[in-house]
Chain A
Amino acid sequence: MISIDLIQSTAEVLMDKAAIEIPDDYLTGLKHAASTEDGDLSSFVLQAMLDNYKAAKEDRRAMCGDTGCPRWYVKMGNDAVIEGGPVALETALRQATANATNGVPLRPNRVHPLWRTDHDNNVGIGAPEIEYGFEPAAPDEDKADWIDLITVHKGGLFGTDYRMLFPSDGIEGIKRFYLDSLVAFGKRGLACQPAIIGIGLGGSKDTCMVLGKRAACLRTVGNMNSDPRIAELEAEFKELGNSIGMGAMGFVGKNMVIDCNIEVGYCHTGGMQMSVHAFCLSSRRSVARLHADGRIEYRTDPDWFTPYQRRETVLWEPMLEAAE
């Protein structure tokens, strides 16, 4: 059984790490961008961002004043048991969010959409979002009696859009909507680029948005889709985004996209839903695996999109093989 106190205390550590420590994969991507940038102003901006990440870690202060909207992804191993059950888990994550908002401190961003009521703790109706995934035991595991807690502090009012495309729109239509999203939100740097661009294709309208957001927030820079043809598109789209001629803050430059990640879901036979998401210069995510024996392993790669999460068949393959 996984201790509920351990869940809450770990969640508070994750809130702090996410707000303060830029993940290494993004940092490496941005350093590479800075080394290739030749626009005067964009170069200055990228260097200032690198100084900023350093200052945040030295001072243990949030990297950005807009600390985004904290949200949680919980991935449960198939054999995980949580002390107090899922209700206790959700309470612990809400409490950790509130405590960290006043502790780090974070900006209390969450308000009621109509009455603008602010609890000053980033907790309210539907906030923080908590989403779930499940995972079978890995081949080298006896039991998957662990949970992964992942917090993402997604920033940005700008950079995300959805559109219903159709098979007749083809790759040309996908490219058009991708470029439109980058150009529209890249001007004046509203998208806080260079960003990790996530693209969701297919699913339904809601799942298309979910896929795109997860593509941006739950995959790391340098990671490729396991489908080699999608991986090719990812590389092509990254190159395309960086050829616009627009850099940080919308200044002339060659770095708009630190990486482009695409996730797909099966959709209606007549449709081709598409969403575009930008995970900004403060690509904040932090992860911990909590084991039943009390061990905690911290990391920054959510490792969300396992083969199981992308499965296509009724039965999960290892189970299928076992049955044969």
Chain B
Amino acid sequence: MKPRQIRLSTTPTDEALAELRLGDIVYLDGLMYTAREGVYMRALEDKANIPMALPSQSAANFHCSPAAAIKPDGSFDLGAVTATASFRFAKWLPEWMAKTGAKLIVGKGGMTSKDYKKFFVPNGALYLSTVGYGTGALLGRGVEKVEAVHWNEELGLAQAMWVLKCNNMGPFIVASDMQGNCLFERENAKIAANLDKIYEGTRPATLKRYGETDDRSDELI
């Protein structure tokens, strides 16, 4: 069965979000901004003023650094865009969502269902994952133009806040729903059933590592 394909605004209504099911394929229209560790630290820890009206201009936060350059005349040359792994940003997201009203967190690999239930569901937000990874050229085609780049001087091109005008930009996969279910955990659970069988005939390493035991009074031999 082929997944459903849906077009969605980057300032989506609650009803539109409630329609989405795990595994749906989504294409985005409207403004989306990139924000990852650099932007989170600057906005939340250094308390810099966010240079956009959020969420009225955009409720979509992309965990992304584009393959792009700023030309000498100040215009932008944007090639490919793909996401970076989102689990690393969990510590900033609750505060970011409260501050910006973000409804769509777009990135690589999703978060845990615990995170979804704790701060996505209460904020009426969903997680969209990029596909692949990554379909950088296809997503690049979906960027109609670069509206602005903020904090480039402070954070560098990769960590700057890029504001992208999306036109049918995708594909993305719906990786969480309004109940806080997690697509990746659902898939992991199906795969787990086969793991014992696949590990038959293997043996654990003779020399262990800390991390395999957290008791530092243990020896590793």
Contact = CB atoms under 8 A, between A and B. Distances in A.
Interface of A: 19, 40-41, 44-45, 48-49, 51-53, 55-56, 59, 61-67, 101-109, 111, 116, 118, 120, 157-158, 163-166, 168-170, 172-173, 175-177, 179, 183, 187-190, 192, 240, 243-246, 248-252, 280-282
Contacts of A163: 205, 209
A120 B80 CA distance: 16
Given A106-B67, A179-B199, A240-B198, A67 B206 contact: no
Interface stretch (B94-102, B117-125, B127-135): B127-135
Contacts of A250: 109, 184, 187-188, 191
11 contacts: A41-B3, A45-B131, A49-B135, A52-B132, A62-B79, A104-B67, A108-B156, A172-B201, A192-B133, A240-B198, A244-B198
B67 A62 contact: yes
A109 B184 CA distance: 27
Interface of B: 1-3, 23, 25, 64-69, 77-85, 108-110, 129, 131-141, 156-159, 171, 173, 184, 187-188, 190-191, 194-195, 198-199, 201-207, 209
Nearest to A45: B131
Contacts of A166: 206-207
A111 B159 CA distance: 11
Contacts of B157: 107-108, 118, 120
Contacts of B173: 41, 249
A183 B205 contact: no
A1 to B, nearest CB: 34
Given A40-B3, A102-B69, A245-B194, A172 B158 contact: no
A297 to B, nearest CB: 27
A64 B138 contact: no
Contacts of A177: 205
Contacts of A243: 198
A167 B80 CA distance: 46
Nearest to A165: B205
Given A65-B80, A65-B81, A59 B133 contact: no
Given A107-B67, A109-B158, A61 B110 contact: no
A163 B205 CA distance: 9
A102 B68 CA distance: 8
Query: What are the 9 tightest A-B residue pairs by CB atom distance, in nearest-first order?
Result: A65-B82, A118-B156, A56-B137, A176-B202, A62-B80, A188-B109, A64-B136, A61-B79, A65-B136
Nearest to B83: A65
A118 B187 contact: no
Nearest to B156: A118
Given A40-B23, A240-B198, A252-B187, 8 more contacts: A48-B132, A51-B135, A65-B80, A65-B140, A173-B206, A176-B205, A192-B133, A245-B190
A67 B199 contact: no
Contacts of B78: 105
A61 B194 contact: no
Nearest to B199: A179
